[in-house]
Amino acid sequence: MAVKLVLFILLLAWLIKASSPTSSSMSKPECQDMCGNVVIPYPFGIGAGCYMDPFEVFCDESSLPHKPYIGSINLELLEVSLEGTVRVNNSVLSSNCQDKAPTADVSLSGSPFSFSDTRNWFTALGCGNLALIHSQDMVIGGCVSICNKTVKKRSCNGINCCQITIPPDLKFINATFIRISASQDHKECKVAFMVDKEWFQSSLIDRYRVLDYVPVVLEWGISDGTCIDWSQRNSTGGYSTDLCGTSAYCSNKIGIYYGCSCYEGYEGNPYLSCQGNSSAKLI
């Protein structure tokens, strides 16, 4: 009898935990919440009714593990943060590199995504290389890497490799490679790319020359709907019913974009619902 009672209590505890709001998926109900090893939280989603436009994700099941792609920008999705960033695989721009096809521009135009100016470097590899960053028809930056093939320690301090920060709200990049020495071999392979600062390692510079893609961090926000002043908060606990879920608030981001966050003491997906102690302080 005692054993049955213990089993009943354990089963009851498991059922309570399974039905608890805090264990709910970060995606919409009945929607696929993962593609391969990547969690897909709402407002991103796979399939009709599972995402907020334009955050549709396609799951490529022809590879193992399966790979998710953001439809509006056609880039492979590596990670989603509901704090307003995603990590994606970004093309490496190249010139005169064997076994590398000519690279196209990287454009986020017309989408709610932009390159993060605080999380990325623009990086160029090559001996005697001036790499200029273009946004549309305008040069917005560049860096120079001088030649010194005797240097054994790999770093990105201007010798065979250079890095610079980028301006905010950047949505388009291309690179032009220019020789800075007439004696330099103009057919030498040169590459440039926007890259996640945390992922990049100077000691692996030679490896990056053969890659076609590197991780980059994009910022995102929502443009549909209105972010109402917090003093006009509606009865559901959000500032705008079409932007945020319950127990969540919206805030203005750069330009026309907004983001949602859970109230202090609450957790969950602020675009669906946040859960927490009913006595938690509302901010």
- pTM here? 0.82
What tokens does 117 get? 């100016």
Q: Tell me what pLDDT residue 209 has.
A: 80
The ranges assigned to domains in the chain are 19-72, 85-220, 230-276
User: Cα–Cα distance between 254 and 252 in angstroms, integer?
Assistant: 7
Give residues with Cβ within 8 angstroms of 161, minimum separation 6: 123, 124, 125, 145, 154, 155, 202, 205
User: Cα–Cα distance between 224 and 206 in angstroms, integer?
Assistant: 44
Asked whether 161 and 124 are in contact (CB, 8 A), the reply is yes
Q: Tell me what pLDDT residue 9 has.
A: 42
Q: How far from 221 is each of 53, 113, 179, CA to CA, in Å?
A: 11, 7, 39
SS3 of the chain: the string is: CHHHHHHHHHHHHHHHHHHCHHHCCCCCCCCCCEECCEECCCCCECCCCCCCCCCEEEEECCCCCCEEEECCCCEEEEEEECCCEEEEEEECEEECCCCCCCCCCEECCCCCEEECCCCEEEEEECCCEEEEEEECCEEEEEEEEECCCCCCCCCCCCECEEEECCCCCECEEEEEEEECCCCCCCCCCEEEEEEECCCCCHHHHHHHCCCCEEEEEEEECECCCCCCCHHHCCCCCCCCCCCCCECEEEEECCCCCEEEEECCCEEEECCCEEEECCCCCCC
Q: Tell me what pLDDT residue 137 has.
A: 76
Asked whether 263 and 275 are in contact (CB, 8 A), the reply is no
**pLDDT tens digits, one per residue of 19-34:** 333 335 799 999 999 9
Q: How far from 166 is each of 108, 161, 162, 223, CA to CA, in Å?
A: 15, 16, 13, 23
Q: Tell me what pLDDT residue 52 has.
A: 93
Low-confidence ranges of the chain (pLDDT < 50): 1, 3-23, 229-232, 234-241, 280, 282-283
Q: Tell me what pLDDT residue 20 has.
A: 39
Give 106's Cβ-side CA count (13 Å radius).
27
Q: Tell me what pLDDT residue 163 has.
A: 93
Residue among 96, 74, 84, 86 at smallest CA distance from 39 = 86
Query: CA-CA-CA-CA torsion for 229, 52, 115, 67, nearest 10 degrees?
Result: 150
**Backbone phi, psi, residue 214, to 5°:** -135, 155
User: Cα–Cα distance between 10 and 212 in angstroms, integer?
Assistant: 51
Query: CA-CA-CA-CA torsion for 52, 228, 268, 65, nearest 10 degrees?
Result: 30
**pLDDT tens digits, one per residue of 131-188:** 888 877 788 888 988 887 676 667 888 888 899 999 988 998 888 888 776 655 567 7
